[in-house]
Amino acid sequence: MRSGRPSARATRQVGPPDVAPTAGTVARLPLLALAAAAVVLHVVVNRVSVYGLHRDELLYLAMGRHLRFWGMDFPPGIAVLAETTRALLGDTDGALRAGPALAHAALVLLAGLLASALRGGRGAQLLAAVAVLASPLFLRAGHLFQPLVFDQLWWTLALLALVHIGRAASEGVDPARPSSDASWTTPGGRRRRLAWSARSGQWLSHATASPWMLLGLAGGLGLLTKFSILFLGAAVAAALVVGPLRRSLLTVRPWLALAVALLVGAPSIVGQLRLGWPVLGQMRELRGTQLVHVGALDFLGGQLLLGPAVLLAVLGVWTLLAARWTRGARTAGLACAFAFALLLALRGKAYYVAPVYPLLFAAGAVALEQGTRGWRLRRSGAAPRLRIAGALIVAYGLVTLPVALPMLPPAATARWAATLGVDAATRTNTGQSLALPQDFADMLGWPELAATVAEAYAALPDSARADVAVLAGNYGQAGALEFYGPRVGLPPVVSPAGSYWFFGPGDRVADPVLTVGVPEAALRGRCTRVVPLGVVRHADTRWLVPEERDVPLFLCEGPNPSLRASWRTLKSE
């Protein structure tokens, strides 16, 4: 009796056997063009923007200067990238933001690849990529040197791997056992292998049949970037338990992927162990100061800032969880749903769930193109549907662009934000309303801060300047003084705020102490004498966040106890 499986004689051919189409043909050139457009957009905005570095960017640059790869309170990946970027490209705004711009471009490409993996054609791939390119969520994240855009990248890569795992399983492919019967040598001398699909009776490319290690690698890179990858880890674990891939947990592959993730992300875990799990304190502070202002309606309402693309995402969720043709991607869809539910239950910020959207956009785009079970669409009408959806998404992106990227001066941005009337776009982490988006306000005033502190430092007697320590009240002030301070003659800065506390009190005698942004009441009882030195001067304080508008400067003479002796107690203040 003849078997339905090709014989071993197929190994002597010089090209691959006929392969059943398991995904849409990737629209390489258009996707690369859209990715390049993302990079160009960020470069142009950096050139024309009147804004400077963000307070968080200043902190991450400082973490690079104080890099301790195996002993940081924060995942060290962003600190390594900061030092690498500075060494290769310099420390201009555009150079430091090159990495995030490239990460945004990679997200655009991955959205197209996700649509292809879901059997989407050229139109679906381009729509998914355009949705990521034009979304305010991804535009803002891709512009700032922060872990956020890299976190989005690793989540998306992990979900792509999960889609490929599910698709291979639904085709009856064993990813760990490529058939030697289906190997051949290309004219260029490279060895190729295929895996046999018992379900479809076709050969499938083995390159897409073994993504478990990619899933582990993405998880490990996520651990090096941001601990929020643990939310995805929990969601993927739940999806594997209840979804169609639960039998895979009886094999070694998921556990090898977990081992890879822990191995790659080990520096973040070791740092927490060495420092006494500071992430727990950071989470308590976050919940007490910021997340307390976020409710379920705020989280859900924040998703509407996606504009028309949110409808595409909703269609994508339904498609991944209910459509027959996406059965192979069911586990990835469940992971997205579980991650959303988990962040909603924990009262996370609306943008925390952004990394699931590239997959949802891709699924929604493919549904628009192909239709779904129970919702028959004429294939002849696919192109108009995709064009209309793309036009709406692009139009919304253009309208919101001035509040997504810092491309207009503050006054013009404030007028545009007021015209849009979207209060959530200008609300701070603590629930206050500003004229500008908080990210924009946090990019203003730092050079002026450093210049005013430098003037106060220069006015001190020579004897005081030799021993004085500059102490900043928050990490934004500390980061600004550390970045701009050497250019204006300031000594090294110290701060008990956040990650800066772990950097220590410095090597100076610290008598006197020049304090920046520390209230006078906090110095009384700690200093023999407190001398007011004025406030930081700004040409226009309207656009700054409230805590940076009237920053006081004091000279603490005769600190008792000394800064070094009191450093441990300052951590809790």
Residue in the block written with tokens 């924009």: 440
pLDDT score for 570:
85
Measured CA distances, 59 to 64, 82, 151, 500 (Å)? 9, 10, 17, 8
In whole angstroms, what is the distance from residue 360 CA to residue 352 CA? 15
Cβ contact 196:175 at 8 Å: no
pLDDT tens-digit profile, the chain (573 residues)? 444 444 434 433 333 333 333 445 888 999 999 999 999 999 999 999 999 999 999 999 999 999 999 999 999 999 999 999 999 999 899 999 999 999 999 999 999 999 999 989 999 999 999 999 999 999 999 999 999 999 999 999 999 999 999 988 876 655 444 444 444 444 445 554 545 444 444 444 444 337 899 999 999 999 999 999 999 999 999 999 999 999 999 999 999 999 999 999 999 999 999 999 999 888 888 777 777 777 888 888 889 889 999 999 999 999 999 887 778 899 999 999 999 999 999 888 889 999 999 999 999 999 998 865 444 555 556 788 999 999 999 999 999 999 999 999 999 999 999 998 876 677 777 667 888 999 999 999 999 999 999 999 999 998 889 899 999 999 999 999 999 999 999 999 999 998 999 999 998 888 999 999 999 999 998 999 999 999 998 888 899 999 999 999 999 999 999 999 999 888 754
In whole angstroms, what is the distance from residue 108 CA to residue 148 CA? 15
pLDDT score for 489:
94
Scanning 460-498, the segments in alpha helix (DSSP H) are 462-467, 475-484
In whole angstroms, what is the distance from residue 513 CA to residue 494 CA? 10
Q: In a 3-state reduction of DSSP, which class is residue 37?
A: helix
527 C-beta neighbours (distance < 10 Å), count: 21
pLDDT score for 479:
96
pTM, 2 dp: 0.88
Cβ contact 53:229 at 8 Å: no
pLDDT score for 370:
82
* Best CA proximity match to 153, nearest among 99, 207, 116, 94: 99
pLDDT score for 201:
42
DSSP 183-243: EEE-TTS-EEEEEEETTTTEEEEGGGS--HHHHHHHHHHHHHH-TTHHHHHHHHHHHHHHS
* Best CA proximity match to 502, nearest among 65, 125, 90, 139: 65
pLDDT score for 353:
94
Cβ contact 536:449 at 8 Å: yes
